[in-house]
Amino acid sequence: MKISNMICAAAVASLSLYSCKKDAIPNPNAPTIEEIIKNPTIAQLNNLVTGTESGMRSELATYTDVVSVLGREYYRMSSSDSRFTQDLLGLDNTVLDNSAFYIGNPWLYRYNTVRTAYVLIEGAKNSQYISAEQRKAYNGYAKTIIAYQLLMNLNLTYANGIRTDVRDYKNLGAIVSKDQALTDIAAMLDEARTDLTGSTVSFSLSSGFDGFADVAGLTKFNRALAARVAVYRQNWPAALTALAASFMNMNGDLNTGVYHVYAAAPGDQLNPLFVDKNKTGEIRVAHPSYATSIDANDDRINKTSLRTTPASQDNLTSDRDVWVYHSNTDPIPVIRNEELVLLYAEASLQSGGTGLNDARTAIDRIRAAHGVGPYAGPFTAAALLTEVLKQRRFSLFGEGHRWIDLRRNGLLNTLPKDRTNDDIWPQLPLPLSEN
């Protein structure tokens, strides 16, 4: 199933939430949101489901570029915009700009998707065409997506906080702290799991949800996200409990998971993170430390590709292209089994006792999958954590995790400064509109 951008005219026209201080221009040929949520048909509700799934892809490239550049995973070299190599890396006296695209665009589109999901919840509440069990499924799906989108915005602004109370877009809640936001996101995921229990799915999802489109699958997806949030909160028992209810499979396919999907069909989108090898102009090239830090025989070196000619901009140089995606229709993961195994390793080692053995087992599973021998370092929680972060660096390269991982472990100071006066930023400012 393709995802069309023509999701629901009213949703597209009316769901702008850039602190909701600017009104979008409505489409006069489309029904209003008020008309849709008054008593929507199953078809109208399903359009909103498609809208949330499509909306999650908007500005995903900007989000991934920002966190990957900040985390020194790769350089985003652009012939048209130097802010990737200047602002985001703190060149000389440059600072992060709260009116720049790199915070405003992803922030806006994540909240747009949240808004669409809340319209879906409101519509499901009012619809006389669905059963109570169907209503629960719509709610569970929508709340899971809301939590995921809020988490992505929190990943950007971190200690500067986010708004989590945005159900009433005309009366937004206050900016809350990072800790409160994580608590709210975890609670939203728990609400979604409760809604999914005993529900009946009457909507279709794209092929990115293959294996996860029914109640059982959506619940496992929900618990996978809950495990990620629990690790971010350092709630290790909650993380292990969530992982046990997720789709984590120590011996299963590490790429099993939920994905954003792309197609070349009219009205769909192409993978915005794909750039062919040896291009110039608008490119992504691996940070030089990726190749120099990886173990011999580690097949994850193939997530990069040696260029015929090194690329340079603003005194930054790399001889390797990012080669995570090999075509413009490759899917981009939301969350997959390899991350879950590594979350299990981290939660286990932090739990002490036999957890150290469990962590080493998980670490060795990942190492073996990529052609690297068993872990032979010190058998301590600190050493195993270092190893987990190393494996996350290479396994999840280009998926937007390293900056977040180092920050939540107080290790941002270990990132390299490639130029004398560069800066390591811990978070982005709130968008100008929020001030």
Mean pLDDT for 174-188 is 98
Q: What is the pLDDT of residues 242-263, one digit of tens each?
A: 999 999 999 999 999 999 999 9
Alpha-carbon distance 337 to 316, whole Å? 34
pTM of full prediction above 0.85: yes
Q: Kindly list the domain boundaries of the chain, sorted by start residue.
A: 9-268+330-422
Least confident of 29-43, 203-217, 294-308, 352-366: 29-43
Res 25 pLDDT > 60:
no
Q: How far apart are CA 358 and CA 342, in angstroms?
A: 11
pLDDT cut 90: percent of the chain above it: 90
Q: What is the pLDDT of residue 14?
A: 36
In the CATH scheme, what architecture does the domain 9-268+330-422 have? Alpha Horseshoe (1.25)
pLDDT at site 140: 98
Average pLDDT over residues 16-32: 47
Which residue type sits at 284?
R
Average pLDDT over residues 334-346: 98
User: In Å, how far are 291, 303, 363, 386, 414 from 377, measured between CA atoms?
Assistant: 21, 25, 12, 10, 20
Mind listing the pLDDT tens digit for each residue in 275-290?
Answer: 999 999 999 999 999 9
Q: Does residue 84 register a pLDDT over 90?
A: yes
Burial class (CB in 10 A: 0-12, 13-18, 19+), 300: buried
**CB neighbour class for 420 (10 Å; exposed up to 12, middle 13-18, buried from 19):** exposed
Question: What is the pLDDT of the chain when averaged over all its residues?
Answer: 93
Rounded distance between C-alpha atoms, residue 291 and residue 234, angstroms:
30
Cα 218 from chain centre: 17
- Spatial contact of 420 and 93, defined as CB atoms under 8 Å apart: no
pLDDT given for residue 34 in this prediction: 81
Report residue 35's pLDDT band, with 50, 70 and 90 as the boundaries: confident
Which element (helix H / strand E) includes 61? helix 60-70
- Asked if residues 99 and 426 have their Cβ atoms less than 8 Å apart, the reply is no
Residue 24 has pLDDT above 50, yes or no: no
